[in-house]
Amino acid sequence: MPLTLVVGGQFGDEGKGKVVSYLGLSDKPSICVRTGSINAGHTVTYNGRTWKVRIIPSCFVNQSTKLMIAPGALLKIDVFLREVEETNSRGRVWVDERTGVIEDAHVERERSDEYLMRTIGSTGQGVGAATMDRVMRRLRLARDFQELRGLITDVPLAVNEELDRGGLVVVEGTQGTFLSLYHGTYPYVTSRDTTAAGILSEVGVSPRRVDDIILVFKSYVTRVGAGELPGELSPEEVVARGWVERGTVTGRPRRAAPFNLDLARRAVMLNRPTQIAITKLDALFPGARGKRRWVDLPPEARRWVEELSEALKVPVTLIGTGEDSLDMVDMRREVMGP
């Protein structure tokens, strides 16, 4: 599986960071590429420590993986450099010369936009404003900043050469299918296409190079910001079910709803995954907590996973059972063959 793409199947916050960090530790990819921008926070917990990364690829937990930021991604220099230190990734992190740069003016412009902030519920990180400038061809890119000299590489070339050598590359998608500018619940969406095809174009690899697409679902659905959420629960009910979460970037409480099979089917259609990862199975079945082998999962949890596989006609291969990157039931060998 030389090129593996990880994509969110709901409204973001499905646990892509956890899945990608697990892949980093288990598969030891040569390269992990981050797409999207700093509005998307990925939480990684490993060895008793938790990081909230907004631009560094979640594979950073594996010291041998080269970390790259896609040309289609947007970073903010202060956020990026802080995370380089926090994740101890200096020396193995690279930025494409074409990666876009968000400046303070973009953040200010976005935060003074009532429509974006109030009606849409933007995270206010300047991502939409910088994207506007990019489309209008006035955004400054990574190559224009002295602070990033020395960290610049040709990411599409590096990725394609690694694939030619038979190396493993993990591409880390951000946000979820239904936040897509094209395929989501417009106008309550983010400023980019979050589906598999959009993610690929941000990196600069052909669709023909993709071997595996892992679509990530959480065992229930959450959403921050405005927009429809079918089956949305009352805040009291969210507490009662133990599904309370806060936004990684904004700290806002996340709205929550039970798992939605219709949405999942549409996400499968739009992304055509080869595999599904399901996170937080322990939120539905507490007996699953911390389990790392299929046989150790409670029978009702196994049944739920099997029924989901059958309903979506895609194998569920990775099952998250706790916060730690390694709290994962990995069924890839059994299901997909060696």
Question: Which residue minimizes CB distance to ligand IMP?
Answer: 225
Task: Tell me if 191 contacts ligand IMP by CB under 6 A.
Answer: yes
Among positions 30, 62, 89, 248, the unique one binding Mg ion when judged by CB under 5 A: 248
CB of 13 or CB of 162, closer to Mg ion: 13
- Residue 126: CB minimum distance to ligand IMP, A: 9
According to CB under 6 A, which residues from 255 to 294 bind ligand IMP?
A: none
Task: Determine whether 106 is an active site residue.
Answer: no
Angle of the 261-271 helix axis to the 299-312 helix axis, nearest 10: 50
Asked if 85 and 67 count as a contact pair (C-beta separation under 8 A), the reply is no
Closest CA to 111 of 97, 98, 128: 128
Task: Determine whether 104 is an active site residue.
Answer: no
CB of 220 or CB of 304, closer to ligand IMP: 220
Determine the 3-state secondary structure of 251 from DSSP.
coil
Task: Tell me if 125 contacts Mg ion by CB under 5 A.
Answer: no
Interface map 211-230 toward ligand IMP (x if CB under 6 A): -------------xxx----
Among positions 40, 53, 308, 314, the unique one binding ligand IMP when judged by CB under 6 A: 40
Task: Tell me if 253 contacts ligand IMP by CB under 6 A.
Answer: no
Task: Tell me if 175 contacts ligand IMP by CB under 6 A.
Answer: yes
Chain centroid to Cα 138, Å, comes to 28
Chain centroid to Cα 160, Å, comes to 21
Asked if 45 and 325 count as a contact pair (C-beta separation under 8 A), the reply is yes
DSSP calls for 93-153: EEEETT-EE--HHHHHHHHT-HIIIIII----SSHHHHHHHHHTT---BGGG-GGGTTSEE
Among positions 9, 10, 13, 61, the unique one binding ligand IMP when judged by CB under 6 A: 13
**What distance in Å separates the CA atoms of residue 232 and residue 249, rounded to the nearest whole number?**
22
**Host H or E run for residue 255:** strand 255-258
Among positions 39, 219, 317, 321, the unique one binding ligand IMP when judged by CB under 6 A: 39
Stretch that binds ligand IMP, among 62-70, 122-130, 133-141, 322-330 (CB under 6 A): 122-130
- Residue 26: CB minimum distance to Mg ion, A: 22
Closest CA to 69 of 37, 41, 45: 37
Q: Is 227 left (phi over 0), alpha (psi -120 to 50) or beta?
A: left
According to CB under 5 A, which residues from 28 to 87 bind Mg ion?
A: 41
Task: Tell me if 6 contacts ligand IMP by CB under 6 A.
Answer: no
Give the interface size with ligand IMP as a residue count (CB under 6 A): 19
List, in order, residues 6 or more apart from 107 with CB less than 8 Å away.
76, 124, 125, 126, 129
Task: Tell me if 195 contacts ligand IMP by CB under 6 A.
Answer: no
The structure tokens listed for 147 are 């602070």
Compute φ and ψ for 62, nearest 5 degrees. -95, 110
List, in order, residues 6 or more apart from 312 with CB less than 8 Å away.
261, 264, 265, 268, 276
Interface map 124-163 toward ligand IMP (x if CB under 6 A): -x-xx-----------------------------------
175 binding partner (options ligand IMP, Mg ion, none; Cβ < 5 to 8 Å by kind): ligand IMP
Return residues touching Mg ion (CB under 5 A): 13, 41, 248
Active centre residues (catalytic): 13, 42
Return residues touching ligand IMP (CB under 6 A): 12-13, 39-40, 120-123, 125, 127-128, 175, 179, 188, 190-191, 224-226
